[in-house]
Protein backbone atom coordinates (compact mmCIF):
# COMPACT_ATOMS: atom_id res chain seq x y z
CA UNK A 1 0.00 0.00 0.00
CA UNK A 2 1.15 3.54 -0.77
CA UNK A 3 -0.11 6.85 0.57
CA UNK A 4 -0.20 10.19 -1.22
CA UNK A 5 -0.73 13.23 0.99
CA UNK A 6 -1.40 16.82 -0.02
CA UNK A 7 -0.76 19.05 2.96
CA UNK A 8 -1.68 22.73 3.14
CA UNK A 9 -1.81 25.12 6.05
CA UNK A 10 -5.41 24.18 6.90
CA UNK A 11 -5.68 20.46 6.18
CA UNK A 12 -3.89 17.39 4.86
CA UNK A 13 -5.76 15.14 2.44
CA UNK A 14 -4.59 11.51 2.41
CA UNK A 15 -5.22 8.88 -0.25
CA UNK A 16 -4.14 5.31 0.51
CA UNK A 17 -4.04 2.91 -2.45
CA UNK A 18 -3.38 -0.83 -2.25
CA UNK A 19 -2.06 -3.18 -4.95
CA UNK A 20 -5.63 -4.01 -5.98
CA UNK A 21 -6.23 -0.28 -6.65
CA UNK A 22 -8.63 -0.07 -3.71
CA UNK A 23 -8.38 3.36 -2.12
CA UNK A 24 -9.09 4.96 1.25
CA UNK A 25 -9.26 8.69 1.96
CA UNK A 26 -8.75 10.62 5.20
CA UNK A 27 -8.19 14.18 6.32
CA UNK A 28 -6.03 15.53 9.13
CA UNK A 29 -4.89 19.00 10.11
CA UNK A 30 -2.39 20.71 7.85
CA UNK A 31 1.33 20.20 8.46
CA UNK A 32 3.52 23.22 7.88
CA UNK A 33 7.11 23.04 9.20
CA UNK A 34 7.12 26.78 9.85
CA UNK A 35 4.40 26.29 12.45
CA UNK A 36 4.79 22.70 13.69
CA UNK A 37 7.65 20.63 15.04
CA UNK A 38 8.21 16.93 14.20
CA UNK A 39 6.67 16.08 17.57
CA UNK A 40 3.55 18.14 16.74
CA UNK A 41 3.22 16.29 13.43
CA UNK A 42 3.70 12.91 15.09
CA UNK A 43 1.09 13.67 17.77
CA UNK A 44 -1.43 14.78 15.17
CA UNK A 45 -0.91 11.59 13.16
CA UNK A 46 -1.08 9.44 16.28
CA UNK A 47 -4.43 10.92 17.33
CA UNK A 48 -5.94 12.13 14.06
CA UNK A 49 -5.02 9.50 11.48
CA UNK A 50 -3.71 6.18 12.76
CA UNK A 51 -6.74 5.36 15.01
CA UNK A 52 -9.01 5.66 11.96
CA UNK A 53 -7.68 2.61 10.14
CA UNK A 54 -6.12 -0.76 10.88
CA UNK A 55 -3.63 -1.10 8.02
CA UNK A 56 -0.84 1.27 9.10
CA UNK A 57 1.63 -1.63 9.22
CA UNK A 58 0.96 -2.30 5.51
CA UNK A 59 1.89 1.18 4.29
CA UNK A 60 5.14 0.72 2.36
CA UNK A 61 5.63 4.23 0.97
CA UNK A 62 4.32 7.68 1.88
CA UNK A 63 4.67 10.61 -0.52
CA UNK A 64 3.73 13.86 1.20
CA UNK A 65 3.69 17.16 -0.66
CA UNK A 66 3.48 20.03 1.78
CA UNK A 67 3.20 23.78 2.14
CA UNK A 68 6.42 25.23 3.51
CA UNK A 69 8.47 22.22 2.31
CA UNK A 70 10.62 23.93 -0.29
CA UNK A 71 13.86 23.80 1.73
CA UNK A 72 15.43 20.42 2.43
CA UNK A 73 15.63 21.07 6.19
CA UNK A 74 11.89 21.78 6.28
CA UNK A 75 11.17 18.58 4.35
CA UNK A 76 13.31 16.63 6.81
CA UNK A 77 11.41 18.18 9.71
CA UNK A 78 8.09 16.92 8.33
CA UNK A 79 9.54 13.54 7.36
CA UNK A 80 10.88 13.05 10.88
CA UNK A 81 7.40 13.45 12.37
CA UNK A 82 5.87 11.05 9.83
CA UNK A 83 8.62 8.46 10.30
CA UNK A 84 7.98 8.42 14.02
CA UNK A 85 4.32 7.58 13.34
CA UNK A 86 5.15 5.10 10.53
CA UNK A 87 8.59 3.75 11.55
CA UNK A 88 8.73 0.94 8.95
CA UNK A 89 7.60 3.06 6.01
CA UNK A 90 9.67 4.79 3.33
CA UNK A 91 8.78 8.49 3.56
CA UNK A 92 9.35 11.09 0.84
CA UNK A 93 8.44 14.72 1.49
CA UNK A 94 8.45 17.37 -1.21
CA UNK A 95 7.13 20.84 -1.90
CA UNK A 96 3.40 21.30 -2.60
CA UNK A 97 4.36 23.23 -5.73
CA UNK A 98 5.83 20.07 -7.21
CA UNK A 99 2.57 18.27 -6.39
CA UNK A 100 0.64 20.99 -8.24
CA UNK A 101 2.93 20.79 -11.26
CA UNK A 102 2.84 16.99 -11.46
CA UNK A 103 -0.93 16.84 -10.97
CA UNK A 104 -1.60 19.53 -13.58
CA UNK A 105 0.99 18.71 -16.22
CA UNK A 106 2.55 15.30 -15.52
CA UNK A 107 5.79 15.26 -17.51
CA UNK A 108 4.89 18.30 -19.64
CA UNK A 109 5.91 21.93 -18.97
CA UNK A 110 3.60 24.62 -17.66
CA UNK A 111 3.01 27.30 -15.05
CA UNK A 112 1.51 25.67 -11.96
CA UNK A 113 -0.37 27.81 -9.45
CA UNK A 114 -1.90 27.16 -6.05
CA UNK A 115 -4.89 29.07 -4.69
CA UNK A 116 -6.09 27.51 -1.46
CA UNK A 117 -5.62 28.73 2.11
CA UNK A 118 -2.25 29.93 0.84
CA UNK A 119 -0.99 30.70 -2.65
CA UNK A 120 2.10 29.91 -4.69
CA UNK A 121 3.23 29.38 -8.27
CA UNK A 122 6.11 28.05 -10.33
CA UNK A 123 7.53 27.49 -13.77
CA UNK A 124 7.81 23.72 -14.44
CA UNK A 125 9.80 22.09 -17.24
CA UNK A 126 8.11 18.68 -17.02
CA UNK A 127 10.61 17.33 -14.51
CA UNK A 128 11.41 19.98 -11.96
CA UNK A 129 10.58 23.49 -10.83
CA UNK A 130 12.75 25.93 -12.76
CA UNK A 131 11.51 29.19 -11.26
CA UNK A 132 9.44 30.20 -8.27
CA UNK A 133 8.45 33.81 -7.68
CA UNK A 134 7.95 33.72 -3.94
CA UNK A 135 4.42 34.21 -2.62
CA UNK A 136 5.98 35.81 0.51
CA UNK A 137 3.33 34.45 2.87
CA UNK A 138 0.40 36.21 4.47
CA UNK A 139 2.00 39.38 5.82
CA UNK A 140 4.12 40.25 2.78
CA UNK A 141 2.07 38.75 -0.03
CA UNK A 142 0.07 35.55 -0.66
CA UNK A 143 -2.12 37.20 -3.30
CA UNK A 144 -4.61 34.74 -4.79
CA UNK A 145 -5.09 32.82 -1.55
CA UNK A 146 -8.09 32.33 0.69
CA UNK A 147 -6.13 34.02 3.46
CA UNK A 148 -5.58 37.09 1.29
CA UNK A 149 -9.28 37.15 0.34
CA UNK A 150 -10.15 37.06 4.03
CA UNK A 151 -7.65 39.84 4.71
CA UNK A 152 -9.30 42.07 2.12
CA UNK A 153 -12.73 41.33 3.58
CA UNK A 154 -11.92 42.01 7.25
CA UNK A 155 -9.88 45.09 6.34
CA UNK A 156 -12.96 46.57 4.71
CA UNK A 157 -15.08 45.49 7.66
CA UNK A 158 -12.84 47.13 10.26
CA UNK A 159 -12.39 50.30 8.19
CA UNK A 160 -16.16 50.49 7.52
CA UNK A 161 -15.55 50.32 3.77
CA UNK A 162 -17.89 47.36 3.34
CA UNK A 163 -21.40 48.04 1.93
CA UNK A 164 -23.95 48.25 4.71
CA UNK A 165 -26.04 45.25 3.60
CA UNK A 166 -22.90 43.09 3.34
CA UNK A 167 -21.84 44.24 6.80
CA UNK A 168 -25.23 43.16 8.18
CA UNK A 169 -24.80 39.72 6.64
CA UNK A 170 -21.22 39.48 7.93
CA UNK A 171 -22.21 40.30 11.51
CA UNK A 172 -25.12 37.86 11.36
CA UNK A 173 -22.76 35.05 10.33
CA UNK A 174 -19.73 35.80 12.51
CA UNK A 175 -19.39 36.79 16.16
CA UNK A 176 -15.91 38.29 15.76
CA UNK A 177 -15.64 42.06 15.74
CA UNK A 178 -12.66 44.40 15.36
CA UNK A 179 -10.79 43.46 18.54
CA UNK A 180 -11.41 39.73 18.02
CA UNK A 181 -10.16 39.86 14.43
CA UNK A 182 -7.02 41.82 15.29
CA UNK A 183 -6.26 39.50 18.20
CA UNK A 184 -6.62 36.34 16.09
CA UNK A 185 -4.55 37.72 13.23
CA UNK A 186 -1.69 39.17 15.27
CA UNK A 187 -1.46 37.06 18.42
CA UNK A 188 -2.93 33.62 17.68
CA UNK A 189 -1.35 30.79 15.65
CA UNK A 190 -2.28 30.10 12.01
CA UNK A 191 -3.53 33.58 10.96
CA UNK A 192 -3.81 32.40 7.34
CA UNK A 193 -6.11 29.60 8.41
CA UNK A 194 -8.24 32.05 10.39
CA UNK A 195 -8.53 34.57 7.54
CA UNK A 196 -9.28 31.81 5.03
CA UNK A 197 -12.17 30.72 7.27
CA UNK A 198 -14.12 33.67 5.81
CA UNK A 199 -14.09 32.04 2.36
CA UNK A 200 -17.52 30.37 2.83
CA UNK A 201 -19.03 33.84 3.33
CA UNK A 202 -17.40 35.09 0.14
CA UNK A 203 -18.60 32.09 -1.85
CA UNK A 204 -22.14 32.31 -0.45
CA UNK A 205 -22.30 35.95 -1.57
CA UNK A 206 -20.14 35.90 -4.69
CA UNK A 207 -22.98 37.22 -6.86
CA UNK A 208 -22.82 40.49 -4.92
CA UNK A 209 -20.89 43.06 -6.95
CA UNK A 210 -18.81 44.03 -3.92
CA UNK A 211 -17.74 40.40 -3.32
CA UNK A 212 -17.05 39.83 -7.02
CA UNK A 213 -14.86 42.92 -7.06
CA UNK A 214 -12.98 41.84 -3.93
CA UNK A 215 -12.29 38.33 -5.30
CA UNK A 216 -11.32 39.78 -8.68
CA UNK A 217 -8.86 42.11 -6.94
CA UNK A 218 -7.29 39.16 -5.12
CA UNK A 219 -6.61 37.17 -8.31
CA UNK A 220 -5.65 40.30 -10.25
CA UNK A 221 -2.95 41.08 -7.70
CA UNK A 222 -1.63 37.53 -8.00
CA UNK A 223 -1.45 37.83 -11.79
CA UNK A 224 0.02 41.32 -11.86
CA UNK A 225 2.55 40.79 -9.06
CA UNK A 226 3.51 37.18 -9.74
CA UNK A 227 2.12 35.21 -12.70
CA UNK A 228 2.87 37.83 -15.37
CA UNK A 229 6.50 37.87 -14.27
CA UNK A 230 7.16 34.37 -15.62
CA UNK A 231 8.99 34.72 -18.93
CA UNK A 232 6.98 31.97 -20.66
CA UNK A 233 3.55 33.12 -19.42
CA UNK A 234 2.35 33.77 -22.99
CA UNK A 235 3.44 30.40 -24.34
CA UNK A 236 3.09 27.85 -21.53
CA UNK A 237 -0.23 26.46 -20.25
CA UNK A 238 -1.36 27.87 -16.90
CA UNK A 239 -3.04 25.57 -14.39
CA UNK A 240 -4.45 25.98 -10.90
CA UNK A 241 -4.82 23.70 -7.88
CA UNK A 242 -6.93 24.52 -4.82
CA UNK A 243 -10.41 25.12 -3.51
CA UNK A 244 -10.27 28.92 -3.88
CA UNK A 245 -9.41 28.61 -7.58
CA UNK A 246 -11.99 25.86 -8.04
CA UNK A 247 -14.96 27.58 -6.40
CA UNK A 248 -14.14 31.01 -7.83
CA UNK A 249 -13.11 29.68 -11.25
CA UNK A 250 -15.37 32.09 -13.17
CA UNK A 251 -13.69 35.10 -11.55
CA UNK A 252 -10.22 33.60 -11.92
CA UNK A 253 -10.80 32.91 -15.62
CA UNK A 254 -12.03 36.47 -16.17
CA UNK A 255 -8.89 37.87 -14.55
CA UNK A 256 -6.76 35.74 -16.88
CA UNK A 257 -8.85 36.59 -19.97
CA UNK A 258 -8.64 40.30 -19.20
CA UNK A 259 -4.87 39.90 -19.48
CA UNK A 260 -5.02 37.95 -22.72
CA UNK A 261 -4.39 34.60 -21.03
CA UNK A 262 -6.31 31.34 -20.61
CA UNK A 263 -6.40 28.93 -17.67
CA UNK A 264 -5.92 25.47 -19.15
CA UNK A 265 -6.93 23.42 -16.11
CA UNK A 266 -8.31 23.92 -12.59
CA UNK A 267 -8.22 21.02 -10.12
CA UNK A 268 -9.68 21.26 -6.63
CA UNK A 269 -7.70 18.34 -5.18
CA UNK A 270 -4.53 16.92 -6.80
CA UNK A 271 -4.55 13.53 -5.06
CA UNK A 272 -6.01 11.33 -7.79
CA UNK A 273 -3.82 12.92 -10.45
CA UNK A 274 -0.78 12.38 -8.18
CA UNK A 275 -1.65 8.70 -7.73
CA UNK A 276 -1.78 8.37 -11.53
CA UNK A 277 1.58 10.18 -11.77
CA UNK A 278 3.29 7.84 -9.31
CA UNK A 279 1.68 4.76 -10.86
CA UNK A 280 3.05 5.86 -14.24
CA UNK A 281 6.52 5.71 -12.66
CA UNK A 282 6.10 2.05 -11.75
CA UNK A 283 4.89 2.56 -8.19
CA UNK A 284 1.63 0.67 -8.03
pTM (two decimals)? 0.83
Q: For the chain, give the percent of residues with pLDDT over 70.
A: 98
* pLDDT tens-digit map of 160-197: 999 999 999 999 999 999 999 999 999 998 899 899 99
Can you tell me the mean pLDDT for 195-221? 97
Rounded average pLDDT over 113-124: 94
Q: What is the mean pLDDT of residues 85-114?
A: 94
Residue 68 within any structural domain of the chain: yes
Interval 44-79: pLDDT, tens: 999 988 887 766 558 899 999 998 888 999 999 999
Domain that holds residue 69: 2-99+271-280
- Domain assignment present for residue 223? The answer is no
Spatial distance between the Cα atoms of 4 and 90, rounded to a whole number of angstroms: 12
- Asked if residue 168 is part of any domain, the answer here is no
CATH no. for residue 47? 3.30.420.40
Q: Is residue 56 part of a domain?
A: yes
Do 2 and 58 form a contact (C-beta atoms < 8 A)?
no
User: Please, what sign has the CA dihedral across residues 102, 93, 230, 216?
Assistant: positive
19 assigned to some structural domain = yes
Count other Cβ atoms within 10 Å, centred on residue 147.
Answer: 30
In a domain, 90, yes or no: yes
Q: Is residue 128 situated within a structural domain?
A: no
Pairing of strands 11-17, 23-29: antiparallel
Split into its structural domains, the chain has a count of 1
End-to-end CA distance of the chain: 8
- Asked, for residue 43, whether it belongs to a domain, the answer is yes
Amino acid sequence: MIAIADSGTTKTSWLFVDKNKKSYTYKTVGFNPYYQSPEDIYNNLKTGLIPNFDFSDKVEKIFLYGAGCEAIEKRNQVAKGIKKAFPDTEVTVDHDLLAAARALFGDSPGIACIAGTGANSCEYDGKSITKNIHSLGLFLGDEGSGGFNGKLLVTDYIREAMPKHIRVKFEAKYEDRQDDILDKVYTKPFPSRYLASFMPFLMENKEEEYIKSLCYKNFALQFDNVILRYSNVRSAPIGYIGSVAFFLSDILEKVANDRGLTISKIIRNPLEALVEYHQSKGIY
